[in-house]
Chain A
Amino acid sequence: MSSHSPLIYHHTNTIRFIHPPNFLPGKTIETVSMATLSNATNIFWQDCQLGKPERQKLLNQKGCVVWITGLSGSGKSTLACSLSSELHSRGKLSYILDGDNLRHGLNKDLGFKAEDRTENIRRTGEVAKLFADAGLICVASLISPYRRDRDTCRAMLPDSNFIEVYMNMPLSLCEARDPKGLYKLARAGKIKGFTGIDDPYEPPLNCEIEIKEDSGVCPTPYVMAGKVVSYLEEKGYLEC
């Protein structure tokens, strides 16, 4: 898990530091400096004394991202919903970023070619980071088939606050469910580049939680949510 270090940017002949507050948790940064980022110049980090620790105290939980990945039809959205319900019943604030839902709003300008998928995931990761910084348990539910893109999102979150949940369901099960009829379209050649059919899914190598069938039977949403909640509890996310 990479942790961030202060970033250095070059602006013409001078080297300037920027210190975003989340890189130094709990500390108030007095100075801001000019930075040159790849596409924008003259950007300053705006510091505010009210930070993540204060929000977490208010909510009595720790912000983090639960990133649910898996094939279409593996049950990601179902788990996201049941997890959200379980957390809510414990008085914890969570929010779901669903890949499909985001494509109705923030990511409506993106399609499904490789670079758009990458950008979809990048933006979702950035938004999830904001939600985690706000103190929420942010549940992201996207196929996110490429390892590199998921790892990019992991790198955005400091302090192991990225919890990857792999819905390890066999393709045959997902295809049998086919909740949106997409496997059928893909098999008929009407959708190209559909994950699992003619586009790869790269399973995680080091996920925090793996959900799979138990003796050929898929666990219920309640049981799956319970597994994630236990993990969060164990790691201290459900208290401040």
Chain B
Amino acid sequence: MCFVQALLPPCGGGIFQNIECGENSASEKLRFVNFHRGFNAVGFGRCRKSLLRPITAKEDRESIISDDGNGVPKYKGISVNKLNCVKNEPDSSFTNRPAAFSGKNLSDLSTNGNSKNILWHECPIQKLDRQKLLQQKGCVIWITGLSGSGKSTIACALSRSLHSRGKLTYILDGDNIRHGLNRDLGFKAEDRSENIRRIGEVAKLLADAGIICITSLISPYQKDRDACRALLPKGDFIEVFLDVPLAVCEARDPKGLYKLARAGMIKGFTGIDDPYEPPCSSEIVLKQQQQKGSDCMSPNNAAEKVISYLEKNGYLRA
């Protein structure tokens, strides 16, 4: 049996070493970090001085570990997955701990929810690396509000504005996701909760990838929004409350749904016969005026307000 020591990294969540990356034409792209020689990256299987020492299956350890002639150990197809306890934060910092693979360490495998015997797999490339590549910090901008309050409109304006600054964003729109991932869900209370839970989990993955993820869904219940907030590191969940009066939303009625709801043809429609629980402490509140036609905050102004917040809080740089 072979024990492997995980080394304390110089920066949390990753193992870095200056290696020769060579020229990279992709680095010429506008606003992207140039991949110069010496950029912190991990050459998997090449310079392994600060990487985990290889873990081998007992039977053929000798044949698997070889030297490439330069004193750099190479290994053959052996997983370097580290055993880990059950965590929902993939990028929590490493600690010095032994990792071993054998039938004797089954207690290290986790049972999470309905899945038994699952293992958290770490990888050399972590969130910080991706953020450095993108020159931004991944986060979730959670836009909540009544139907017709302008969530999708503002999401698009925000996305375009950030793109013009060279930032990578992605919109998870409640309606669009219901065409794919959440096509098996309806609108009863538990389905709404599950819809929001899954979108929260996907948003978390996108943020971990370094993307500024913009979600746009009514998400009427505080409890569900809070559950999504809890998935992300503190500060990375940015709730934007579109505080638009029901009368304004209903006057817009972009999808004709308020009309149907008033006619009783849709049941449980948020704002009509299902509650919307406004957030008490959103990071950003976008307030619209009472009367239709009076000065409303334009989508671009709204987007700029969000962008100021992002800039001030360091999300538009690595």
Contacts and interface: CB of A to CB of B under 8 A. Distances in A.
B57 A176 contact: yes
Interface string A46-76: 1011100011001111000000000001010
Category for how many chain B residues contact A: 35 or more
B96 interface: no
Nearest to A211: B77
B229 to A, nearest CB: 15
Contact of A109 (B114, B179, B183): B114
B263 interface: no
Interface string B140-169: 000000000000100110011001001011
A84 B43 CA distance: 10
Nearest to B81: A77
Given A43-B178, A43-B179, A221-B77, A178 B57 contact: yes
Given A46-B176, A93-B210, A225-B44, A105 B26 contact: no
B78 interface: yes
A220 to B, nearest CB: 6
Contacts of A46: 152, 173, 175-176, 216
A78 B180 contact: no
Contacts of B67: none
A44 B134 CA distance: 32
B32 interface: yes
Contact of A180 (B117, B169, B184): B117
Contacts of A133: 170
B44 A86 contact: yes
A96 to B, nearest CB: 6
B106 to A, nearest CB: 5
A217 interface: yes
Interface stretch (A32-40, A144-152, A202-210): A32-40
Category for how many chain A residues contact B: 35 or more
Nearest to B87: A104
B103 A104 contact: no
Contact of A78 (B80, B114, B115, B129): B80
Given A61-B26, A96-B123, A75 B175 contact: no
A210 to B, nearest CB: 14
Given A42-B255, A42-B266, A75 B79 contact: yes
A62 B166 CA distance: 17
A92 B256 CA distance: 43
A19 to B, nearest CB: 11
A135 B121 CA distance: 24
Contacts of A181: 101-106, 109
B21 interface: yes
Contacts of B87: 104
Given A58-B168, A220-B45, A91 B24 contact: yes
B297 interface: no
Most chain B beta carbons < 10 A, residue from A38, A191, A221: A221
A179 B101 contact: yes
Most chain A beta carbons < 10 A, residue from B60, B121, B134, B168: B121
A198 B202 CA distance: 32
Nearest to A92: B26
A75 to B, nearest CB: 5
Contacts of A184: 103
B292 interface: no
B149 to A, nearest CB: 14
B3 interface: no
Nearest to A7: B179
B41 A104 contact: no
B137 interface: no
A91 to B, nearest CB: 4
Given A85-B43, A88-B41, A91-B35, A42 B79 contact: no
Interface string B178-214: 1111011111000100000010011011101111000
A116 B114 contact: yes
B26 A82 contact: no
Kindly list the 3 A-B residue pairs having the minimum CB-CB distance in the complex, ordered from nearest: A108-B113, A222-B45, A218-B77
29 contacts: A20-B176, A38-B183, A39-B183, A39-B186, A40-B178, A42-B266, A44-B175, A50-B159, A60-B29, A78-B80, A84-B125, A88-B41, A89-B35, A93-B134, A96-B123, A105-B201, A105-B204, A106-B205, A108-B115, A116-B114, A123-B181, A134-B170, A141-B121, A169-B77, A177-B79, A179-B101, A184-B103, A219-B76, A222-B44
Given A81-B124, A126-B181, 4 more contacts: A89-B19, A104-B120, A105-B205, A220-B76
Interface of B: 19, 21, 24, 26-27, 29, 32-33, 35, 41-46, 55, 57, 59-60, 74-81, 86-88, 90, 101-106, 109-110, 112-121, 123-125, 129-130, 133-134, 152, 155-156, 159-160, 163, 166, 168-173, 175-176, 178-181, 183-187, 191, 198, 201-202, 204-206, 208-211, 216, 231, 255-257, 260, 266
